A and B are shown apart, each in its own frame.
Chain A
Amino acid sequence: MSGSNVPADLKYAPSHEWVRVEGDVVTVGITDHAQHELGDIVFVELPEVGKKVAQGKGVAVIEAVKTVADVYAPADGEVVEVNSALADEAGAINADAYAAWIVKIRISGPLSSELVDADGYKAML
């Protein structure tokens, strides 16, 4: 799809999360394409810091008016930080999906083999 913003410095999951890798901590959000498809986001259900997560399992839930989308963890690990600003302003994801990160996970295993680079993700859209 044209018009979607896909920054080159991130990795992407087929389930429309973006992932920024910094050492053993990954930051996860949803892509511009995903926020566009969901429409106005009204709520983000964030996990608790310290929660153990498994690769491919839901770590947060994004709620639009009539749709819900799970945000999946790209690797096993533990939630080390959540973007609690989203609790008050979930619409920040609509405004800038790459600034409005959702969770940071300290990973304890390999990243999902399904993650692709920006060109790979663009090809999926």
Chain B
Amino acid sequence: MLHDDTGRTLFEKSRPGQRGTGEIEWDIPRKGLDSLVPAKLRRKKAPRLPELSEGEVVRHYTVLSNKNHNIDKGFYPLGSCTMKYNPKVNESLARLSGFSTLHPLQPADTIQGALELMWRLEHMLAEISGMDSVSLQPAAGAHGELTALLVVRAYHLSRGEDRRKVLIPDAAHGTNPASAAIAGFECVTVKSAQDGRVDVEDLKSKLDSDVAAFMITNPNTVGLFETRVEEICAACHAVGAQVYMDGANLNALVGIARPGDLGFDVMHYNLHKTFSTPHGGGGPGCGPIGVKSHLAAFLPSPRVRNSDGKFTLEKPSTSIGPVHGAFGNFLVMVRAYAYILAMGPEGLARVGRNAVLNANYLHAKIKDSMACKYEGPYMHEFVLDGSPLKALGLHTSDFAKRLMDYGVYAPTIYFPLIVPEAMMIEPTETESRETLDRFAEIFLEVLRQCREETETVHSAPHNLPLKRVDDVKAAKDLVLTHPFE
């Protein structure tokens, strides 16, 4: 391949003296750097940035981009990640200069459209979740968790209670305990019961007046709705603890049930999951939080207020303060707003419905070949127990790598921790039946290969830009920047 110079960086392609931008015109007299910056302060050694023409830079990135799997190209059965289609109109609207050129410190009367959009989106998210108030400021799901826990902390402190503990199920995302720790809490693990749901008796035994919150993902990370949710919330409320819903799996509930109606006090949303904004190879996301009215006074500042169509910014004295330098990932909010407008009530009702149907349909097609540890029906995702592979000398990771040879991404693997050799599959509502059928065929074919062509699976992938990547070497011989010498 002429242009596939595997792994060769911009820095190796760089040639001194070249550049990809033209010199900017001078319409005022040039003074020269020597007169602008004293010699003592001047940078002694220029940063070794690449020196390339515009076309070379564009081609470099285009060739790189072709080595990525992406949702426009193919299926991502990634459990817990909700890799749904990202509508294109959202992208073009987020690029409108009326949004992209705004400065966060502009006077409120010059950003009325932006404030109105945020106000409307807050109210739409509140309606969808059954919460009373929403803050859009957190930049990602984990940021939302942390912000929500700071809100919970402020609430308890306002009542003279310095509660120290946060309860978290053993099946939780790692961000839950990490966020709780950074919010200053001690994490206490709650066990999962035999059926894959929270062990409510274990929870009750750990609830006391020192518990600030119980964080629970619903549907949980094995794709099951927490049927005893009312009892869970009541038990927590009885000791004054707040119940936090990790909204990573909100997609399953859209139009079907609302966290606020289930009894939750506080939650976060992932606009980059449930509300179709793109993942961008890792971000930016947007992790708004929703709260019931008793927590609203503590939401991050500034708050957008609407008085008869005039939008203002307010900093309530009870607020925890800002959690982001500006308003959060505003252009992600624009995309989510456009998405909700495109869906409407009927469209949103089909989000949860078809996400659940697609997951159960796909499960039905492969359940006889590989089992789940916990019994369904499932909500938006299911978690296969890959441990039978071990008898063949294989692991879930081998299976996942082989799947990628067929143009699909790997499922989420080794999570949650309560399922051995876990393989977590979430199709989302935007995949067609044809895609699910084809994926099931591929899945079964790979399973056949596991038995009959074990080495093919063991050494997969074979059809991707690279063979199996050595992550042990990467971790042992850390090379984190280009070695220039």
Chain A residues at the B interface, C-beta cutoff of 8 Å: 39-40, 42-43, 65-66, 90-91
B476 engages A91 (CB within 8 Å): yes
A42 engages B472 (CB within 8 Å): yes
Alpha-carbon distance between A66 and B417 when the two chains are bound, in angstroms: 12
Q: Contacts A65-B475, A66-B414 given; 13 further ones with Cβ under 8 A? A: A39-B472, A40-B472, A40-B475, A40-B476, A42-B472, A42-B475, A42-B476, A43-B475, A65-B471, A65-B472, A66-B471, A90-B476, A91-B476
Chain B residues at the A interface, C-beta cutoff of 8 Å: 414, 471-472, 475-476
Shortest beta-carbon distance from A3 to chain B in Å: 14
Alpha-carbon distance between A83 and B411 when the two chains are bound, in angstroms: 40
Residue numbers in A under 8 Å from B414 (CB-CB): 66
Alpha-carbon distance between A91 and B414 when the two chains are bound, in angstroms: 23
A-B CB contact pairs (8 Å), 15 listed? A39-B472, A40-B472, A40-B475, A40-B476, A42-B472, A42-B475, A42-B476, A43-B475, A65-B471, A65-B472, A65-B475, A66-B414, A66-B471, A90-B476, A91-B476
Residue numbers in A under 8 Å from B475 (CB-CB): 40, 42-43, 65
Going nearest first, the 10 A-B pairs with the smallest beta carbon separation are A42-B475, A40-B472, A42-B476, A65-B475, A65-B471, A65-B472, A42-B472, A91-B476, A66-B414, A40-B476
Q: Which of A39, A40, A43 has the most CB of B within 10 A?
A: A40
Residue numbers in B under 8 Å from A65 (CB-CB): 471-472, 475
B397: nearest chain-A partner, CB-CB: A66
Shortest beta-carbon distance from B172 to chain A in Å: 17
A91: nearest chain-B partner, CB-CB: B476
Shortest beta-carbon distance from B471 to chain A in Å: 5
Alpha-carbon distance between A42 and B475 when the two chains are bound, in angstroms: 6
Alpha-carbon distance between A42 and B355 when the two chains are bound, in angstroms: 40
Alpha-carbon distance between A40 and B414 when the two chains are bound, in angstroms: 17
Shortest beta-carbon distance from A19 to chain B in Å: 27
Alpha-carbon distance between A65 and B471 when the two chains are bound, in angstroms: 7
Shortest beta-carbon distance from B3 to chain A in Å: 32
Shortest beta-carbon distance from A85 to chain B in Å: 15
Residue numbers in B under 8 Å from A40 (CB-CB): 472, 475-476
Alpha-carbon distance between A66 and B396 when the two chains are bound, in angstroms: 14
Shortest beta-carbon distance from B337 to chain A in Å: 37
Alpha-carbon distance between A120 and B77 when the two chains are bound, in angstroms: 44
Alpha-carbon distance between A90 and B476 when the two chains are bound, in angstroms: 9
Alpha-carbon distance between A66 and B476 when the two chains are bound, in angstroms: 12
A40: nearest chain-B partner, CB-CB: B472
Alpha-carbon distance between A43 and B476 when the two chains are bound, in angstroms: 8
Alpha-carbon distance between A63 and B302 when the two chains are bound, in angstroms: 42
Residue numbers in A under 8 Å from B471 (CB-CB): 65-66
Residue numbers in B under 8 Å from A66 (CB-CB): 414, 471
Q: Which of A39, A42, A66, A91 has the most CB of B within 10 A?
A: A42
B476: nearest chain-A partner, CB-CB: A42
A89: nearest chain-B partner, CB-CB: B476
